[in-house]
Structure 1
Amino acid sequence: MTELRTLKVALLGCGNVGAQVARILIDDAGALAARTGARLELSGIAVRNVDAERDVELPRELFTTDADTLVKDADVVIELMGGIEPARTLILTAMRNGACVVSGNKALLAQDGPTLYEEADKAGVQLSYEAAVAGAIPILRPIRDSLSGDRITRVLGIVNGTTNYILDQMDSTGAQFADALAEAQRLGYAEADPTADIEGYDAAAKAAILASLSFHTRFALEDVSCEGITAVSAADIAAAKEAGFVIKLLAIAEKLTDEDGKTGVSVRVHPTLLPREHPLAAVRGAFNAVFIEAENAGELMFYGQGAGGTPTASAVLGDLVSAARRVVLGGPGRTETTTGHVPALPIDASITSYYIGLDVADQPGVLARIAQLFAEHGVSIEIMRQTIHRDAESNVESAELRIVTHRAREAALAATVEAVKGLDVINSVTSVLRVEGV
């Protein structure tokens, strides 16, 4: 029987995901060796504090604060530290010393991916990052490999479990945003500082990665138009529900042609109304899903747990097995699939629908004036609902209008909203949300 080769695996970071990765490497060593053709030896775990309490009991001798030495002696490095530095420097050091790298660091990949890809190509090593987007869902490999012979035209994704949980709670229980956020924090879905999630930054980093793979072009975080969910009110949720919609924070990357005839890709993250019959509308709780439209494959949807230590560890181990097989069998590392440059188009070039909430004076001719203004901007109205209410103190009646437009250029829709604000019969624009899937 041929003696199996031993590969040293260095782990950077031992948080929720890292601890589970370490546990699986130790507990499932035999099965992993059978799948890779090599023994995967966890050579060390780099952490800031070796004495910190952890949910998973691991051999203390594995822990070290000397990450630099650890990565220089590894065959494969798993980076789960997060953040930009020292993760970036350690990844570059690892690759320059011939190690393949598995990372779940979406912020680093979105900000400085090109540098990492170039270094991996130069060193002839593999850089894998399935865990960086949508946790346990195998989405990056299918885009990169299974759909590489097709043309992807559009990607829509619920890629942040925290915001999906909050919006789902608001929809299913009628909770206010602050209460739903507090519950998400209590359950561990949201961090003490939830800014990256609720402002859309986490989803934007993932959108840049999805767009880069889907359209074979490097897109960075600055190419993504980003809007979070903090302005979504319980009234917005209730009105959307009444009209047959649900509100989700979507990451959208789509190929389109702007008004000047230039073809490019629009990448955006924002709260979005979806018809309740749309497949993404049924994604509940902290789950994630990615919906892909391709010229030949048609519509595809990938669904599963988007966060959590064990589910995300599954994606990390999948990348590790792939990298280990490459080391055992030899050959070049998996390279980036960028084959050209498709420009990033601003959100103004995208084609969408708007849901607009207006508080207006209750008087004759208001609806006609609003409809005329929309027509002047080349935007047609698909749905208009009016509700009359009376102020208890002033006894003055006003009307609440809820308008859903037909699809039009984002620039025309935004200009229409600005023009509506100038009408003397408009008390306020209470909400503006985009609509997809209609």
Structure 2
Amino acid sequence: MVRSRPLKVALLGCGVVGSQVARLMTTHADDLAARIGAPVELAGVAVRRPAKVRGDLPPGLVTTDAAGLVGRGDIDVVVELIGGIEPARSLITAAFENGAGVVTANKALLAQDGPTLHAAAAAHGADLYFEASVAGAIPLLRPLRESLAGDTVNRVLGIVNGTTNFILDRMDSTGASYGDALEEATALGYAEADPTADVEGFDAAAKAAILSGIAFHSRVALDDVHREGITEVTAADIASARRMGCTVKLLAICERAQDGRSVTARVHPAMIPLTHPLASVREAYNAVFVEAEAAGQLMFYGPGAGGVPTASAVLGDLVAACRNKIGGGRGPGESAYAALPVGPMGEVVTRYHISLDVSDKPGVLAQVATVFAGQGVSIDTVRQTGKDGEAQLVVVTHRAPDAALVATVEALRRLDSVHGVASIMRVEGE
């Protein structure tokens, strides 16, 4: 049975995602009312530039006074889609203080101030939902928070940025350079005019912080995440990966230490075998591989961005928040009871692919091998090509701590016979 009094929703932001949320709330109004148990009414839409509002909204709904909309007192749920740190943080906090639940897709704010927001929500008995902050439409955070609540997650490995996946996929499938692939991504709308947040790994790092916190029941901040982007990935790296039966992906990797006493979170390009499920994720799609003790290996796949897919995740959270308003309950809050420390990147153990420019003369390979042995890094394979006194040496190691690899590279750079370290890339997913 549907009650008559509508639940009132304030929408902050009406861009690519916000406009689709407003549209779906209108076109699916009857279904939403049936699923929630009450009609849902869009009470107002706050924007900075009313002239640029997307979609067909009644003029009376649009306002530039976001604070006034949130502070009306009759708002049940605030949907925050403006992004950034401020004024989003202040508006979300004000929503809690006025008794409203909050649905947000703001990964940057959650990665930076998640604990503060969770505390404010708990203090006012309000909801904080954020499924759309990671991997767009893919149901991922709710399964981690709820479906796997009785399990122990040991590793989360994923492609969580569609822009970089599109670029790397184009470099692999068409032989395009990084610059050409980025230009195509921009033309198709996958990359922003300023792509820094995507290509330098900031976007994926924020998502890794959120995933780590939920998966390991510990607080992981953006600054705790080791971050490398894809701007240094070359056609030679792509070709070398192909020769190894691998492809290159920008991965977010969140791991529990083997002794269970710490966690690590990192974002960087890596070679993964073509046999791994993530290797087949093409174009701008996202996919996340979860490894849990009881459930085993799970994979979540789908569109990781875009107005309609992300709006789908927002509406799922909106339904949950509205149901809680009717029933008097509250959704899951922050779970940080484990309080596991974040270990340094130097403790991460993986394999490495190192490309060196060296002199093409006898004894060089022995010198290089001695450096690796001196740091306790075992060599798996070596490939050398040379011409006119110059050579390229490609070394693939066995698993070793990151700190040992860093020390090895520093020692290699001191050798007269090593003219340069062309590239270093980790090998994951084996």
Normalising to structure 2: TM-score of the pair? 0.97
User: Residue 78 of structure 2 aligns with which residue?
Assistant: 77
For residues 219 and 411 of structure 1, the distance between their equivalents in structure 2, rounded to whole angstroms, comes to: 21
For residues 3 and 374 of structure 2, the distance between their equivalents in structure 1, rounded to whole angstroms, comes to: 77
* Contact preservation (8 Å) 1:246, 1:276: yes
For residues 209 and 220 of structure 2, the distance between their equivalents in structure 1, rounded to whole angstroms, comes to: 5
For residues 333 and 360 of structure 1, the distance between their equivalents in structure 2, rounded to whole angstroms, comes to: 59
Alignment of 1:14-413 (within 5 A): 14-52=14-52, 54=54, 56-73=55-72, 74-256=75-257, 263-389=261-387, 396-413=388-405
* Contact preservation (8 Å) 2:2, 2:33: no
1:355 is displaced (CA, Å) by 0.6
* Contact preservation (8 Å) 2:2, 2:39: no
Q: Which amino acid aligns with 1:70?
A: L
For residues 97 and 363 of structure 1, the distance between their equivalents in structure 2, rounded to whole angstroms, comes to: 74
Of the three residues 388, 412, 434, the one matched with 2:426 is: 434
Superposed CA deviations along residues 187-213 of structure 1, whole A, max 9, x for unmatched, are 000000000000000000000000000
For residues 94 and 399 of structure 1, the distance between their equivalents in structure 2, rounded to whole angstroms, comes to: 63
Tell me the percent identity: 60
Q: Which amino acid aligns with 2:63?
A: T
For residues 124 and 284 of structure 2, the distance between their equivalents in structure 1, rounded to whole angstroms, comes to: 38
For residues 186 and 67 of structure 2, the distance between their equivalents in structure 1, rounded to whole angstroms, comes to: 34
For residues 34 and 262 of structure 1, the distance between their equivalents in structure 2, rounded to whole angstroms, comes to: 45
1:146 is displaced (CA, Å) by 0.6
For residues 2 and 242 of structure 1, the distance between their equivalents in structure 2, rounded to whole angstroms, comes to: 61
Go from structure 1 to structure 2 and tell me whether the alpha carbon gap of 1:172 and 1:84 turns closer, same or farther (over 3 Å shift).
Answer: same
Go from structure 1 to structure 2 and tell me whether the alpha carbon gap of 1:3 and 1:269 turns closer, same or farther (over 3 Å shift).
Answer: closer
Q: Which amino acid aligns with 1:312?
A: T
Unaligned runs of 5+ in 2: none
1:333 is displaced (CA, Å) by 3.9
1:420 is displaced (CA, Å) by 1.2
For residues 137 and 260 of structure 2, the distance between their equivalents in structure 1, rounded to whole angstroms, comes to: 36
Normalising to structure 1: TM-score of the pair? 0.96
SS of alignment partner, residue 5 of structure 1:
coil
* Contact preservation (8 Å) 2:381, 2:396: yes
SS of alignment partner, residue 91 of structure 1:
helix
Superposed CA deviations along residues 335-371 of structure 1, whole A, max 9, x for unmatched, are 1122131001111011111110011111112212211
SS of alignment partner, residue 31 of structure 2:
helix
Q: What is the aligned-residue RMSD (CA, Å)?
A: 1.2
* Contact preservation (8 Å) 1:4, 1:37: no
Q: Which amino acid aligns with 1:204?
A: A
* Contact preservation (8 Å) 1:125, 1:334: no
SS of alignment partner, residue 39 of structure 2:
strand
SS of alignment partner, residue 345 of structure 1:
coil
For residues 386 and 2 of structure 1, the distance between their equivalents in structure 2, rounded to whole angstroms, comes to: 72
1:422 is displaced (CA, Å) by 1.3
